[in-house]
Structure 1
Amino acid sequence: MSASRSAWMLNPEGSGAGDDVGAELTRSLDKSEVLNKLNMFYKRKEMQRLGAENGLDAHLFHQAFVSFRKYILESQSLSADVHIILNDICCGAGHVDDLFPFFLNHAKQIFPMLDCMDDLRKISDLRWPPNWYPEARAIQRKIVFHAGPTNSGKTYHAIQRYLSAKSGIYCGPLKLLAHEIFRKCNDANVPCDLVTGEERVCVDPEGKQAAHVACTIEMCSVNIPCEVAVIDEIQMIRDPARGWAWTRALLGIPATEIHICGEDAAINFITELMYTTGEEVEVRNYKRLTPVTVLDYALESLNNLRPGDCIVCFSKADIYSVSRQIEAQGLECAVIYGSLPPGTKLAQAKKFNDPDDPCKILVATDAIGMGLNLSIKRIIFNSLVKPSISEKGEKEMQAITTSQALQISGRAGRFSSVFKEGEVTTMHWDDLRLLKEILNRPVDPIQAAGLHPTAEQIELFAYHLPDATLSNLIDIFVSLSQVDGLYFVCNIDDFKFVADMIQHIPLNLRARYVFCTAPINRKQPFVCTSLLKFARQFSRNKPLTSDWLCKHTKWPFTPPGNIRELVHLESVHDVFDLYLWLSYRFMDMFLDIDKITLLGKRLKLTTGY
């Protein structure tokens, strides 16, 4: 029987001289029998363990096996050594484990990183984050945790220490909070600069940096020493997307005193985390300054609204529906939700708070939970179900957590407002019992802090894997990363979404990484398309001017006539913000900061909010 009829062979090296040797030395192989032996190999725990030791986690092991099986079963010719090993296994003279060297060799051809696995593991070792910040480790920092519920004065006391210091940095979760501290500081005759992703304000007319700065948490410096740092809303250290920023600030800011503000549920975890840096935590507890009562009745109808009411919705569609129903009754209402520009939120808050303004009803999302001082008498939950993203990246509808419910409820009857007592209820009777149950549950303690791969770490990966895409580099990094029980790697889906979207555009790795970290909502097609065009123009080394952006966005605009037009103008505002965000990273290419800032202000007037 000829070799071509008795065996199928493949020589991965491409030489055909010895292809028939295996068939000449052994019997013909039955494909169904070989498939059975390959499946036995795949199911062997020992083989999976060996694969893991050589860099093949469960996902990569499966991918490598599928490719290896295809190579064995679909090749017209096999190398002699593979053919002989398979024959021995099928005859009972060998064991399926004998295939492992050939399997591993095949895996290295499709996963080149396996040859430099030791180096890659060292780069992605995230077990000792405190060691990443030598400036902070070089000083003995005093850690003060101001713990308490909303409206307890915890942030107030931390800010008082910040104002009295010779130098300081405030780190907040929102641009609104950074703006508030910036104004408060300068109103107290303490010169303070403002730094957010899209904005830089230097109070010194000559551009000299002030001793105090108010910033969004992602923008804090871990290289500039100061006397006092305030890290607000520390419980967000567990946020699946942004938690890394709180971890970086807490471990890395080289301040003599670190003042942390947040929920009681974070105390034990922060204390344990600081133990790894050799720093003790002083806890200062605060109680709420004004009472909040959960009512025994639901609102039932918008006809029962009264001045000082705030209806909380968890979708933009509900926001629009409820606000239109209120306006149909001849009442004015202010509207606040997350994607509104910060200036618009402040304007709506001012409208609602103004005692001389007839607008005394507020419709809002949980965006009011942080960052706005509002004169609310009664919080009314329109529903208790909020959309969320699961660990698999899938959209889910879940009841709000106790932490979220407390944060939102706590906006009623704030100490600084005209209402000294607050009330909380629901729109529907069916929700009221559940709300009481949620509010009475203990807040889940924080278990871990977020981390995120840095540009430098990804560049080192790219050095070893020059042909890998940025999305693949991130995937490999996360699969190999080692973290201890105090940390987790933050969700990278948004990063990968942008990486895949701009992969075809020729950019150097550092620029590509920066574009991928741009804060965009991937549910907004116009914003995503704009980012793509920004990257393409950047790659051609063509400056992005205000004229170019106006042409892209079809400026100027008329006031929106319906909800769809309003939503589009919000997207346009986000594109302007995206331009400003990129301008501070690529100042030589995004040239017209002042002009785009002015256009953004004019756009706010156009929206009518």
Structure 2
Amino acid sequence: MSQQFHSPITAVLGPTNTGKTHLAVERMCAHSSGMIGFPLRLLAREVYDRVVALKGENRVALVTGEEKIVPPDARWFLCTAEAMPMDRDFGFVAIDEAQLAINPERGHIFTNRILHARGRDETMILGSESLRPLIRQLLPDAEIITRPRFSTLTYVGPRKLSRLPRRSAIVAFSIEDVYAIAEMLRRQHGGAAIVMGSLSPQTRNAQVKMYQDGEVDFLVATDAIGMGLNLDVSHIAFAALKKFDGRRRRRLTLSEIGQIAGRAGRHQKDGSFGVLSGSISSDELQVEEIERLEDHDFPTLDWLYWREAEPDCSSVDDLIQSLEEGPGERLLQPAPEAIDLAVLKRLAQDQNVRKLVSGSDDVRRLWEAASIPD
């Protein structure tokens, strides 16, 4: 994409609830074709449903790691960032939650989309204000627009589960905690919806609908809720401020807390956040942290994760070597070994697999197999 087009690039930056995604959907629908890459399957599905209502089912595609709906006449594509078809020509292209380029597991994908995903007529990068210095340096021609939050966000301190207000979302960081909290809410309040990435698309969509339709007043979710889901949440309660990130158990960064807490309050409706008091909650927020969260004042990013997006497929060894090469740019850091590369290395050790790979087409096919999500 990046070689084909030199369209205007706009970086729309700001905290949660600023209408960034809504703006991108409006802009996309004004073009003859378009694509938006999202951080979350559930968010791609949510926007897909909205665009289908505007454009018709036969003109809109949904492409994620677990769902693929691509009608022959599809012109508007809603995708997860990983699943964006980068070889197609679109009038408009956007990447949402671009600050995820700092994520150890998926960051290199978002960096690649920031640097290379381009629309023929218009390109938008949506993300946190923390991206501003990097956008200025990596994309000097981009126009940067800052959007203020529509509503205020207020810290209200610790609260017991039984004292949480209606339309609350409780955020936990393990499947066990999610189900334990949901069970307690069912006993005390009569019901709760559950949103986790590990649920099937049908189950997840049904749970969100149950909450949105008001059948239950409480939602229990993992931190995936922070990735742009437009839910009618008035209060966010953190069951913990620490999580296991795949490598170690650590405290959430201020930006991560802000991304999740910011889901409270939609449009003009103010929101609140706090921690869940009791045995599950691990620690409190400090006064200076609360002030920065309420002001959406987060540290700027100094670099992004990077990995070669078009690796050398001459041989399996060449493929692995090019995927492990450094970026040669001080604002980019080599990405930690992601699952797809670990799988590729494991397959490459199997001599039976090696015998099946005789040319570059086979190498590409092997890399595609290793890259299949989950």
TM-score by length of 1: 0.54
Is 2:21 the counterpart of 1:155?
yes
- The 1-side partners of 2:88 and 2:276 are apart by 49
**Residue of structure 2 in register with 1:386 after alignment:** 243
2:360 alignment partner in structure 1: none
Change (3 A) 1:481 1:363: closer
Partner residue, 1:362: 219
Residues 374 and 482 of structure 1: CA distance in aligned 2, closer, same or farther (over 3 Å): closer
- For residues 482 and 286 of structure 1, do their structure 2 counterparts lie closer, same or farther at Cα, with a shift above 3 Å needed? closer
Name the residue aligned to 1:268. 133
TM-score w.r.t. the length of structure 2 is 0.86
Cα displacement (A) at 1:482: 5.0
Mark the CA change 1:309 to 1:273 in structure 2 (over 3 Å): closer, same or farther. Answer: same
Q: How large is the Cα RMSD of the aligned pairs?
A: 2.5
Deviations 1:158-206 (A, max 9, x none): 2211111122111111222222222222211363222223333234xxx
Aligned counterpart, 1:65: none
1:298 to 147, 158, 162: 158
How far 1:454 moved relative to its partner? 5.0
Given that residues 221 and 253 in structure 1 are in contact (C-alpha distance below 8 angstroms), is that contact kept between their aligned partners in structure 2? Answer: no
The match for 1:451 is: 306
Is the 2:235–2:264 contact (alpha carbons within 8 Å) kept by the matching residues of 1?
Answer: yes
Shift of 1:367: 1.5
Q: Aligned residue for 2:336?
A: 491
Change beyond 3 A, Cα 1:510–1:167: closer
Structure 1's 500 and 439: CA in aligned 2 closer, same or farther, altered over 3 A? farther
Fraction of identical pairs, as percent: 29
Matched ranges for 1:16-415 at <5 A: 136-189=2-55, 191-203=59-71, 207-208=72-73, 210-255=74-119, 256-275=121-140, 280-295=141-156, 297-299=157-159, 301-329=160-188, 331-355=190-214, 357=215, 359-389=216-246, 395-415=247-267
**How big is the shift at 1:245?**
2.0
**Which residue is equivalent to 1:512?**
366
How much has 1:287 moved relative to structure 2?
Answer: 1.0
Show the counterpart of 1:84.
Answer: none
Structure 1 or 2: more helix by fraction: 1
Which protein, 1 or 2, shows the higher relative CO under an 8 Å CA cutoff with sep ≥ 6?
Answer: 2
> Which letter maps to 1:431?
D
Paired AA for residue 353 in structure 1: Q
How far the C-alpha of 1:224 sits from its partner, in A, is: 2.7
> Residue type of the partner of 1:267?
R
Any conservation in 2 of the 1:223–1:253 contact (CA below 8 Å)? no
Q: What is the one-letter code of the residue matched to 2:303?
A: A
Residues 327 and 333, structure 2, Cα contact 8 Å, conserved in 1: no
Task: Say which structure is richer in strand.
Answer: 2
Q: 2:273 corresponds to which letter in structure 1?
A: V
Which protein shows a greater Rg? 1
Unaligned runs of 5+ in 1: 1-134, 390-394, 463-467, 521-609
Cα 1:371/1:265, change in 2 over 3 Å: closer
Query: Is 1:225–1:253's contact at 8 Å kept on the other side of the alignment?
Result: no
Contact 2:234–2:272 (CA under 8 A) maintained in structure 1: yes
1:409 positional shift: 0.8
8 Å Cα contact 2:11/2:145 also seen in 1 = yes
